[in-house]
Structure 1
Amino acid sequence: MSGRIGKRLSDGLTEMLRRLRQPEVLFLLPTATLAGFWLGGETGLLLVALGAPLAGFALGALNRPEAAIPPMPDGLQGLALRPQLIGVLETALRDAPVSGLQTGCIVVQFDDAALLLDRHGRAAQTEVLARCAERLCSALRSGDVVARLEGGGFAIALHPQRRLDLESMIQLAARLQAAIAPPISLNAARLYVSCSIGFCLGLAAPSANGRSLLDAAQIAADEALRNGPSAIRAFAPDMARKHSDRDALRGQLETALDQGEIRAHFQPQISTDTGEITGFEALARWQHPARGIVPPAEFLGAIEEAGLAERLGEVMLFQALTALTRWDRAGLKVPRVGVNLSAAELRNPRFVEKLEWEIDRFGLNPDRIGIEILETVVATTENDVIVRNIAALAKLGCGIDLDDFGTGHASITNIRRFAVNRLKIDRSFVTHIDTDPGQQKIVAAILSLAEQLDLDTLAEGVETPGEHAILAQLGCRHVQGFGIARPMPFDQVQDWMARHDSRLAPLPRIGSGATK
């Protein structure tokens, strides 16, 4: 208590001294001093010296203007904050044994929230959230409490009621999704927004307190978002365990990046015409100290969720450039190495500048680095930063590969707009192509499109000699896959190249440029 009083006195004296230095106070001080001495002598002078500053400070404290708060759209004004929502849930849970009424918590997460931000910007995102908040409130009862969460979602504390079970919660979640679904008119555009919802009944919360109930609903919402769009999930105890495992995995990934456990493995790409090595793709592999090699499917998603994609990209680029430099010094012919870019890297306005600096630092030409971009990014993005970055990469001289082609609905317009150099045919069209006429027709159509657009082609996921042969006959220029070689660490590449070159000499050419 005495500490708080001392702090208040100290703050008060500081404020008083600040106010005494104001010009209007300094101007009036001589007049007030003379008047006090004339009216009351030394006593009056003392009263002026002590009383005037204190009175001024008191009046100033009463009239001190509040800090300006930027206006929020109508739909977001009046919403509860997270601590308030927890308090509401806490009260309902505490009263439940006496009242016999049950509560629950719902968390609403928006599908493709990052895409909305990329396409339309922060102001539009805030306006869309405001409209959605209004729609949610209109679909709820008057006693339900809505709070805005960090990251753009909403949480709802349901007013205690007699009947609240799994079925009624699912019905309510579906009603909220239906309320969100109609298009939103914004800046002469019609935006369609969907949401995934997680919820937890009060009786199902891991602990009988408001924070635990909200956390459980959030875990369920995260699970719904991963299975979305427009998914609904009820909290179950195993979700908490999986959530804890994912949190632990994120911590391990940060450590792995710091300690160099995640390294580039290199998978060769070869010409179907000559069989010569035309490049490598750098692929992330995690050498776990206890588990050994961890498959990328088990950690790449967690890297994205944890916001570590840019750090991983920096690691992979550095190792790719280092490998190229060392191969050059050893006299090995490796035309280029491809690196995969995440959407997070492409959204960074300074990415191309950083990449150019790194390439210059290693003394390499930009065309030695191939940039692999998922077709889904090219097909959906309207983000000006991403568009500018890809254009700048092409202008710099890096080859642009459209990865997993055939799965993301990229238009010809986008292929030209992004200055794509090569189509990488997705492995789903390559599997069993030697025995499936339908697969052959699809790949033949892709190759015909590439030829008309003057684009290079590479088929991924080639696993058998038959697949390799038919792709060569159809005119695909490069192949990559386990049938050629598995991704390998840097220190195994030189030996593999030597073995490959020794087998290459006696082999006849089977591609479109074969000698007749």
Structure 2
Amino acid sequence: MRSSAGLTSHRTSLPSRRQLGRLGRLLMLGLAPALLLGALALGGAWAVVLVVIALPLTVSSALGRPILSRNLTRDALTGLGDRAAITGRLDRMLAHPGGMPPSVAAMVLEIDGFKQLEQRHDRALIEHLLRVVGERLQIGLRHDDMLARLDGACFGLALSSSHRLDLEAALQLGQRLQESVADPVERGGTKVRVSLSLGFALAARLNRPGGAELLHAATLALIEAQRGDPGSIRCYSEAMRHRVRIRNALVDEAAAALDRGDVAAHFQPQVSLSDGRLTGVEALARWNHPRRGLISPAEFLPVMEQAGLMGRLGEVMVQDGLNALRLWDAAGIEVPQVAINFSQVELADPRLVDRLAWELDRFDLRPERLAVEVLETVVAHRLEDVVVRNLSGLSGLGCQLDLDDFGTGHAAITSIRRFSIQRIKIDRSFVSRIDADADQQKMVSAILTMAERLGLETLAEGVETQAERDMLRSLGCGHAQGFGIGRPMPRPEAEAWMRARPVARPAPATSATSTARHAV
């Protein structure tokens, strides 16, 4: 038996900070009922602490209301709630005693181009950016709405039923939230501007959803918004779910389609604007689906990326493109070069230069007959070391480097010179209606002047009319491609098209190029 002195000492000692910490961990494990029984047995100061803390938790556990969940489901970076917190809030909003409230909604917002921002800036700035965006969004909310950070640059909103919330009101709220983050975020002298794409879902448009289902519907709407321009807003509809099912089915079919040859290169002609002669072709991926026919690249390229098949797709495109050149050579059709766009996944492959050198040797082609197209957004941002080595290696091998979609990615002139870019491809957004738009003419003229002074060739993309061709030629643009010249065609159709065209002969290989080729 314990002595009375021992009992007195036990009653008067309060729990230490370490003991309270252990107590907190036990509470997190859901042991409140057991702690309550222990408190009744212990008595004293421990009894006061345990009863005060454990009793409400025991009652809340019996009622199914996790009181501590608000404190246990916070995003560590921003201090906002996380996915579990916002899902729980939506569940509570939707569990209305008199039936589902008509005005509950979920909204999901994401910073546009966040991957590129991460490549361009250091971690400290990115984390500061996420905190500031979270703070600004919070200020723009109504007092009983809830903001959470879901993951990465994605935020979620639980919109309360205490206000009128129909389609128009949700759109207005979305626009206000977009405006709230419009001002630049600054840290260490660096300013970053961001925009938000967002999707939302109204509970009244679904069949008695739970919180997770409503949040998922808003996420589907965000995906649709991101297929449009930056800063787009979309409201969930059942058709979106149908499109996602189709996209998921395509993901399952993608690998088999590559193996069967359903995904293959189509070839779009590139011509000289001075005399109309063929100067090359661009190999563009096309998926000929057995049931759906030709699927747009805008639809299946994200599928390939989602399935982790961009590297495999790139291999197919290189083999199809180089094989086409060899077959045209054998048929006496002179095609100076084939241009192939390389994704960032391919450019980050440390085996890329060796693989391309081997493929060129296998098809007995000079390296300069392969134009490697790189998106301007790739070289505009901070590059991994392996990407830098690959671009330098491809240039040293003798391949032509083209900067694709020029004018959309803010590439610095130093980047153009650093990687020995030889040609810039002017994005179609600058070409459309250039014959009638004076501002477009000024922009393209400035690009052409810069290219001339840097010794770069130029090619305009998306040329659709003779008037656009005439204007580009008068401004001094060297080459063009687009539907107004020739659509992307399977190899046999492209061959028939070429037979009726004059061809610009390729420049002879230099000794330096040949040496570089055999050194790899």
Once residues 368 and 483 of structure 2 are traced to their aligned partners in structure 1, the CA distance between those partners, rounded to angstroms, is 26
Contact kept in structure 1, 2:75 and 2:149, CA below 8 Å: no
Contact kept in structure 1, 2:265 and 2:320, CA below 8 Å: yes
**Aligned CA distance change for structure 1 residues 273 and 154 (closer, same or farther; 3 Å):** closer
Residue of structure 2 in register with 1:23 after alignment: none
Residue of structure 2 in register with 1:285 after alignment: 286
Contact kept in structure 1, 2:103 and 2:166, CA below 8 Å: no
Q: 1:113 Cα deviation (Å)?
A: 1.1
* 1:30-429 matched pairs, under 5 angstroms: 74-77=76-79, 79-82=81-84, 84-97=85-98, 103-121=104-122, 124-137=125-138, 139-140=140-141, 144-158=145-159, 161=162, 163-271=164-272, 277-297=278-298, 299-300=300-301, 303=304, 308-328=309-329, 333-346=334-347, 351-352=352-353, 354-356=355-357, 358-359=359-360, 362=363, 364-375=365-376, 377-378=378-379, 380-385=380-385, 389-405=390-406, 412-426=413-427
Once residues 437 and 108 of structure 1 are traced to their aligned partners in structure 2, the CA distance between those partners, rounded to angstroms, is 36
Once residues 438 and 102 of structure 1 are traced to their aligned partners in structure 2, the CA distance between those partners, rounded to angstroms, is 46
Once residues 421 and 139 of structure 2 are traced to their aligned partners in structure 1, the CA distance between those partners, rounded to angstroms, is 47
* 2:291 partner amino acid: A
Q: Which stretch of structure 1 is more off in the superposition, 205-214 or 94-103? A: 94-103
Contact kept in structure 1, 2:80 and 2:147, CA below 8 Å: no
Q: 1:387 Cα deviation (Å)?
A: 5.2
* 1:220 partner amino acid: A
- SS of 1:335's equivalent? coil
**Aligned CA distance change for structure 1 residues 96 and 229 (closer, same or farther; 3 Å):** farther
Q: 1:118 Cα deviation (Å)?
A: 1.4
Once residues 433 and 132 of structure 2 are traced to their aligned partners in structure 1, the CA distance between those partners, rounded to angstroms, is 50
**Aligned CA distance change for structure 1 residues 333 and 97 (closer, same or farther; 3 Å):** same
Once residues 357 and 135 of structure 1 are traced to their aligned partners in structure 2, the CA distance between those partners, rounded to angstroms, is 53
Once residues 175 and 434 of structure 1 are traced to their aligned partners in structure 2, the CA distance between those partners, rounded to angstroms, is 37
**Aligned CA distance change for structure 1 residues 308 and 128 (closer, same or farther; 3 Å):** farther
Q: 1:372 Cα deviation (Å)?
A: 1.9
**Aligned CA distance change for structure 1 residues 473 and 419 (closer, same or farther; 3 Å):** same
* 1:266 partner amino acid: F
Q: What is the CA deviation profile of residues 402-425 of structure 1, one whole-angstrom value per residue up to 9, with x for unaligned ones?
A: 334466665544433442212334
- SS of 1:334's equivalent? coil
Once residues 135 and 436 of structure 1 are traced to their aligned partners in structure 2, the CA distance between those partners, rounded to angstroms, is 38
Counting aligned pairs with the same residue, the percent is: 46
* 2:196 partner amino acid: C
Q: What is the CA deviation profile of residues 34-63 of structure 1, one whole-angstrom value per residue up to 9, with x for unaligned ones?
A: xxxxxxxxxxxxxxxxxxxxxxxxxxxxxx
In structure 2, stretches of 5+ residues that fail to align are 1-73, 505-520
Query: TM-score w.r.t. structure 1 length?
Result: 0.67
Query: TM-score w.r.t. structure 2 length?
Result: 0.67
Once residues 231 and 483 of structure 1 are traced to their aligned partners in structure 2, the CA distance between those partners, rounded to angstroms, is 30
**Aligned CA distance change for structure 1 residues 177 and 305 (closer, same or farther; 3 Å):** farther
Contact kept in structure 2, 1:101 and 1:161, CA below 8 Å: no
Q: What is the CA deviation profile of residues 8-59 of structure 1, one whole-angstrom value per residue up to 9, with x for unaligned ones?
A: xxxxxxxxxxxxxxxxxxxxxxxxxxxxxxxxxxxxxxxxxxxxxxxxxxxx
Q: 1:282 Cα deviation (Å)?
A: 1.0
- SS of 1:278's equivalent? strand
Q: 1:268 Cα deviation (Å)?
A: 3.4
Once residues 372 and 348 of structure 1 are traced to their aligned partners in structure 2, the CA distance between those partners, rounded to angstroms, is 16
- Larger of the two Rg values belongs to structure: 1
- SS of 2:314's equivalent? helix
**Aligned CA distance change for structure 1 residues 406 and 251 (closer, same or farther; 3 Å):** same
- SS of 2:217's equivalent? helix
**Aligned CA distance change for structure 1 residues 467 and 358 (closer, same or farther; 3 Å):** same
* 1:339 partner amino acid: I
The count of corresponding residues between Structure 1 and Structure 2 is: 431
Q: 1:370 Cα deviation (Å)?
A: 0.1
* 1:8-47 matched pairs, under 5 angstroms: none
Q: 1:264 Cα deviation (Å)?
A: 0.7
